[in-house]
């Protein structure tokens, strides 16, 4: 329980339409925690129409992100970060031992057609970058209970199009045994003077940890 509460403190939640809370700059932030959260079993549908389960990812290191294709908030920036990782970890991805995995939090709208259009527009290599959809309750439960991240469905007449979901924009690093080892910022925190510096340091550390876990 103490470890879970500590994770919640470290994990800044940035929903589609929400901005991170300002905080004072720090140039000596510790690296992300070495976590120990099993992803557990799941079965979802990839944009290709193929069923992807947790067993398909065993033996591989993978980086998870959470978006929805109609998002008018930070989701495009998170996807751009994943696209950057696709470029900068090209050699590691080429081995087949590393995967990028994006989960939609709006599966009712994000069918295979929507995911394919979204992925194609961002040059997502289907051999290395998976886009998963399925039952909304199942995905939301996976995000909340396994990844320890937040996803909230916004309702009411004041909800604008593209802001129907508030969810974490963090990236999760999963090892070959299906254990979540760390989370990282998926985009810079613009409310911090050192937001871009922290983001770049985090991405560098993420890539270092990927290479360590692949060994």
The answer to whether domain 2-13+33-214 has CATH 3.30.70.870 is no
Q: Is 163 exposed, middle or buried (0-12, 13-18, 19+ CB in 10 A)?
A: middle
- Structure-token pair, residue 80: 């751009």
The pLDDT, as a whole number, for residue 199 is 96
What is the domain partition of the chain in residue ranges? 2-13+33-214
* 74 vs 77: CA distance, rounded Å: 5
Tell me how far apart the alpha carbons of residues 22 and 33 are, in angstroms, rounded to a whole number: 21
pTM here is 0.84
Tens-digit pLDDT string for the chain (215 aa)? 444 444 443 444 444 544 333 333 344 455 555 788 999 999 999 999 999 999 999 999 999 999 999 998 889 999 999 999 999 999 999 999 999 999 999 999 999 999 999 999 999 999 999 999 999 999 999 999 999 999 887 777 887 776 677 788 999 999 999 999 999 999 999 888 999 999 999 999 999 999 999 99
d(C-alpha 126, C-alpha 123), whole Å: 9
């Amino acid at each position: 329980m103490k470890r879970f509460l500590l994770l919640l403190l470290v994990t800044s939640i940035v929903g589609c339409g929400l901005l991170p809370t300002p905080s004072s700059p720090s140039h000596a932030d510790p690296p992300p925690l070495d976590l120990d959260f099993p992803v557990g079993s799941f079965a979802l549908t990839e944009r290709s129409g193929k069923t992807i389960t947790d067993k398909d990812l065993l033996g591989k290191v993978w980086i998870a992100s959470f978006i929805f294709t109609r998002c008018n908030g930070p989701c495009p920036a998170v996807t751009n970060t994943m696209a950057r990782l696709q470029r900068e970890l090209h050699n590691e991805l080429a081995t087949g031992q590393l995967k990028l995995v994006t989960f939609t939090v709006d599966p009712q709208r994000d069918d295979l057609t929507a995911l394919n259009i979204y992925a194609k527009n961002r040059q997502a290599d289907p051999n290395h970058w998976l886009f998963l959809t399925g039952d909304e309750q199942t995905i939301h439960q996976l995000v909340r209970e396994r990844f320890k991240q937040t996803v909230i469905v916004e309702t009411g007449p004041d909800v604008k199009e593209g802001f129907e979901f508030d969810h974490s924009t963090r990236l999760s690093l999963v090892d070959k045994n299906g254990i979540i080892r760390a989370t990282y910022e998926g985009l810079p925190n613009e409310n911090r003077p050192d937001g871009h510096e922290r983001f770049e340091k985090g991405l560098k550390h993420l890539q270092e940890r990927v290479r360590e876990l692949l060994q």
